[in-house]
Structure 1
Amino acid sequence: MISQQDFQELKFKTLKHFWGYDHFRDAQEAIIDSVIREKDTLVLLPTGAGKSLCYQLPALLREGTCLVISPLLALMKDQVNQLKARGIEAEYLSSELDEYDAETIYDRCKEGLTKILYISPERITNKQFLQHIEEIALSFIAVDEAHCISEWGQDFRPSYQNIKEFRQNNPEIHCLALTATATPKVLDEIKLKLGLKDPEVFQKSFKRDNIKIFTEEISDKFQKVFDILKFTNESGIVYVRTRREAEQLSEFLQKNQLTHVDFFHAGLSTKEKNTRQRIWNTSDNHVLISTNAFGMGIDKDNVRFVIHYSPAPSIENYYQEIGRSGRDGKESFAFLLWNTQELLNFDQILKNQIPNKAEFLKIITYLYSVFQVAEFELPEKIFSLNINAIHNFTRLSTAKIKNVLGFLHNQEIIYFNDYRSLSSLQLM
């Protein structure tokens, strides 16, 4: 039995050995101690506060495998690659793995070699997974982006609702829920729908003193972005509203000798997106001109600025997006560019683009009906997609339809191709 003093020393030695830090940040140590004591724990920390360490470090100190439920495959891959680079045994399961690779991962978990296993929430109802998990000693469950369980949030993911039943079938395993985005109402919903028992709650102020915010009314935004970027040689993100703006602004900047700039949006192929994100992640001065398809779950400390070419669609979006800068605690900058006409048109644009729940379900119902797909079925088949047919059936605007398809694409429920070729859709 390890003494409390020896445990404290081991905790800091682990932090130093794998992460290179001498001290924890903010509430990290108290959260880790709660997990080690096998308490259900709910964590609400701002973007960039180091939430992932709160389950990664205790996973190394506890016997067994930590099961991490995460919403995005790209996020899982990024986390696993970073952990492996630190010498930590971590893996992820996804439908893109063949049967042999998946069996190898399961075997390593059963042998106690893999300390952290990432899965999507959809996998916890997979029969093969449930059979294997019975033979794996789980240390605890970590639910990342836990706000996805809430129907009050914009990132609602229905499959998160299945986590509670999975926990009820494994009542001895405690749970750590983490999010950067939650109102008091959403926090209560997380507790209820995850079945957290008397959880310890850690909540930190969202104030980020190291981020300096500037807003400016601008008529020539291309020139303003150029003026900002020509005086910096550091990494950043420029958020634009449309794919076309991303491409045109990137082209303008490159023509003006800013060669460390590229664009990123959901219309790129998976290979192109992975390549561009990798270049940006490993660079000290690369800048991505991006729609909001980019950013969720990124783990890059040295983002020095975020520029909003136009106002974000909500305060929540704006907070999340500027929070991707200055994660290392160093001085960073957020620039918001706007003009009067843009704001006058903004409300009408939102009404035309954002579907309500009934409209969202109408589009989903159409897709399942036309393509003869049963609920929860996951056929790896590509369907030709006619946006006009969806419009004729639902009587909804093309913008609303594309927003729903884009949302499903970003959540990796479908692969939606709408870029320089015939539109198609694939259920993932």
Structure 2
Amino acid sequence: MDNETLEIAREALQKHWGFTSFREGQDAAIKSVLEKKNTMVLFPTGGGKSLCYQLPSVLFEGLTIVISPLVALMQDQVHQLNERGIAATFVNSTISSWEVEQRLVNARNGMYDLLYCAPERLETPLWEAELPRLDVDLIAIDEAHCISEWGHDFRPSYRQIRPAFESIADSVSWIALTATATPEVRADIAENLGFTDPEVISKGFERPNLKWWVTATEQKQKKILNAVKKAAPLGSGLIYGGTRRNCEELARKITNQLGVKTEAYHAGIESSNREEVQNRWIAGDLPLVVATNAFGMGIDKADCRYVIHYEMPYSLEAYYQQAGRAGRDGLESFPMLLFKPSDLAIARQRIKDSYPEKDQLQHVYDVLCDSLNLAVGAEMEKSEEVSIRALAKRSGYPARITQSALKVLNQLSIIELIEYLKPRVGIQFVASQDYIREQIQVSENQRKSLFLDTLLRQFGGEAFAAMKYLDFDYIQQKLGVSPNAVKKGLQVLQDHDQLLKFELNGEQPMVKLVDERQAKLRLRKEELEQYRNTLLEKLAYMKGYIQTENCREVYIRQYFGEQEVSPCGHCDNCLQKKKEDVQFTNSDLLAIRQALSGGGKTLGHLCRQLGWSKARIKRSLSHLIREEKVRAKTEKYFWVNNNK
């Protein structure tokens, strides 16, 4: 990128984002994209990946297509871009086919800089028909690790991205972005996308300001209260509680016992309240949130000082991404993981349970289709809300198995499953525009007239032809009434006055069949077991991180493929090693060497022979094992002869 182009890029950065300089790596990534090179960006959570395709989209004359698996996140990004004066939209299964078609026509006419879509969208006849008419300059693939079967969030539909764009693949720029990719995943991404010699821009996985910490305990609640008591004076915090019940209970206990204002965040809380909790935490008005793992996606908060995991994530990718939400401003921060031995057994069982048998998948699929009134061969026009509880009751399976089956069907690209969606309200007027205007004029109820007039202004003429959707929170704000009053008012206008039809979605998961209903799904046992086994393998690496006695940052960075990594010096293991090195003397070494000279000894034997406490023996043996002077085998310790 020559100096003139770089200056233009900086001007765009200043104009739309308000920054005068790029973060580390962003300028290199943008330069590579503008030079039409195949680009792979590996930035940690909060590293500014989105800008690497958003800024070039402003400079390119044509369209940037962004493939994203997270519907809620793409909607948030589109909203933020529009706020910055950048024309962007999305197409996914939450909007009607009529609205999808209209947005694609607008894209064809050059009305957008960016068009976000889910990968499943690329295989629809409408998309295939419109693609040749779009003037595409850049294809950006967010969460690119979803391409790889070795990734922690594999989605088969991601492997069809390159074939879907084959007709224009060589005439556009490509950029693939992820925060978490092992060497195997990177190689798989490059091969699948046809990147023969990609420009790889990586910040590496070092986070020198993070003090990685693992605490093994059977008393997690006691430990978390102590941890929050110490950490709360440092600033804002985030706890990943795992389950809804944990989130509610921990938030209540921390607030009551420590006086630290804490609130829960999970899918069971009404969406407007969830968003309020999130916004107050970002603004610094709420010091601590206890959340399920849905919290934090796409959230930009630089000054979170500590992240505590009450429950263990099942992969290092997930842990690194979530814990990495601490200290994005570069100041000292503390990611802490609480762990007890039974956590691993529970995790293994949950992974196995999360992959139902073939006949269970078929049964849940059939029950789902029946509940949606779909005959064999019928297609769905758009997503519809489903009740997990109702499906579970109808299938005869527990809710846990039913939900797992839906997630697997989603991963296999049989359905599109959308969770944690930003609530939307859809309206279609069924009376004529003139009649509705007349009702606004003649109604004696001023509040009702204002309510109807506001709806007409906001939804406009499009809502007379088809159901049109807008964000629920936006409509509530325009109407100036409570969420409940919005629902009640719409109900009256639909049932009593018969002026409109309305739909609310977002509080429950939404589902759409990717293809027409099949009489029998083509499921291979090997395919189902392969991904489950990959997750079990990732869990083993998570176990290794927890149990390692060496530097935790070294373990993480080597897992992600970095070589020649030096100990960080400030994780719990590094600090313990420094402490042991200070406390361990030459006379201790000589005593243990003499005790082990006659052969292997158990911990109890050494305690009795040397007269030391068990803690002192353990500390000394740990030091000598790291120094490769002692080895452990079947609960006995042996002196290593080649280190005499």
TM-score tier (shorter): 0.7 to 0.9
Shift of 1:180: 1.2
For residue 225 of structure 2, what is the amino acid of its counterpart?
Q
Query: Matched residues in 2 for 1:78 and 1:414: separation?
Result: 15
Shift of 1:337: 2.9
Shift of 1:362: 5.4
Moved more, 283-292 or 355-364: 355-364
Contact preservation (8 Å) 1:406, 1:416? no
SS of 1:152's equivalent in the other structure is coil
Structure 1 counterpart of 2:115: 117
Contact preservation (8 Å) 1:167, 1:173? no
Structure 1 counterpart of 2:32: 34
For residue 18 of structure 2, what is the amino acid of its counterpart?
G
- Listed one character per residue, the Cα deviations across residues 79-117 of structure 1 (whole Å, up to 9, x for unaligned) are 122222222222222333346654553344233231111
Contact preservation (8 Å) 2:119, 2:158? yes
Structure 1 counterpart of 2:344: 347
Structure 1 counterpart of 2:225: 223
Shift of 1:54: 0.7
Contact preservation (8 Å) 2:406, 2:417? no
Query: Matched residues in 1 for 2:42 and 2:353: separation?
Result: 27
- Listed one character per residue, the Cα deviations across residues 363-383 of structure 1 (whole Å, up to 9, x for unaligned) are 433321333477995562636
Decide whether aligned partners of structure 1 residues 56 and 249 sit closer, same or farther in structure 2, where only a CA change above 3 A counts: same
Residue among 66, 69, 75 paired with 2:67: 69
Say whether residues 1:179 and 2:183 are aligned partners: no
Matches within 5 A, 1:1-400: 4-98=2-96, 101-103=99-101, 105-171=103-169, 172-217=171-216, 219=219, 220-228=222-230, 230-232=232-234, 234-256=235-257, 258=259, 260-283=261-284, 285-338=286-339, 342-343=340-341, 345-355=342-352, 359=356, 363-372=360-369, 378=380, 380=384, 382=386, 384-386=390-392, 389=395, 391=397
For residue 119 of structure 1, what is the amino acid of its counterpart?
C
Structure 1 counterpart of 2:620: none
**Higher radius of gyration, 1 or 2:** 2
Shift of 1:187: 1.1
- Higher relative helix content: 2
TM-score (normalizing by structure 2): 0.57
The number of aligned residues is 411
Query: Matched residues in 2 for 1:221 and 1:161: separation?
Result: 43
For residue 212 of structure 2, what is the amino acid of its counterpart?
I
Shift of 1:256: 4.4
TM-score (normalizing by structure 1): 0.84
Decide whether aligned partners of structure 1 residues 55 and 311 sit closer, same or farther in structure 2, where only a CA change above 3 A counts: same
Shift of 1:292: 1.9
Query: Matched residues in 2 for 1:352 and 1:98: separation?
Result: 39
Moved more, 49-58 or 380-389: 380-389
Shift of 1:4: 3.1
Identity across matched positions, percent: 37
Query: Matched residues in 2 for 1:407 and 1:332: separation?
Result: 36
Moved more, 398-407 or 66-75: 398-407
Decide whether aligned partners of structure 1 residues 286 and 119 sit closer, same or farther in structure 2, where only a CA change above 3 A counts: farther
Query: Matched residues in 2 for 1:407 and 1:304: separation?
Result: 36
Q: CA RMSD in A?
A: 3.3
Gapped regions of structure 1 (runs ≥ 5): 393-397, 418-423
Query: Matched residues in 1 for 2:330 and 2:397: separation?
Result: 47
- Listed one character per residue, the Cα deviations across residues 228-285 of structure 1 (whole Å, up to 9, x for unaligned) are 46424x3331012222111111122333475742212233455554444344344464
SS of 2:115's equivalent in the other structure is strand
For residue 349 of structure 2, what is the amino acid of its counterpart?
N
Decide whether aligned partners of structure 1 residues 376 and 307 sit closer, same or farther in structure 2, where only a CA change above 3 A counts: farther
For residue 109 of structure 2, what is the amino acid of its counterpart?
E
Higher relative contact order structure (alpha carbons within 8 Å, sequence separation ≥ 6) = 1
Contact preservation (8 Å) 1:43, 1:178? yes
For residue 366 of structure 1, what is the amino acid of its counterpart?
H
- Listed one character per residue, the Cα deviations across residues 120-144 of structure 1 (whole Å, up to 9, x for unaligned) are 1111112223333333211210000
Decide whether aligned partners of structure 1 residues 272 and 408 sit closer, same or farther in structure 2, where only a CA change above 3 A counts: farther
Contact preservation (8 Å) 1:109, 1:136? yes
Query: Matched residues in 1 for 2:258 and 2:75: separation?
Result: 33
Contact preservation (8 Å) 1:75, 1:298? no
Contact preservation (8 Å) 1:210, 1:326? yes
Decide whether aligned partners of structure 1 residues 284 and 210 sit closer, same or farther in structure 2, where only a CA change above 3 A counts: farther
Decide whether aligned partners of structure 1 residues 376 and 368 sit closer, same or farther in structure 2, where only a CA change above 3 A counts: farther
Shift of 1:332: 2.3
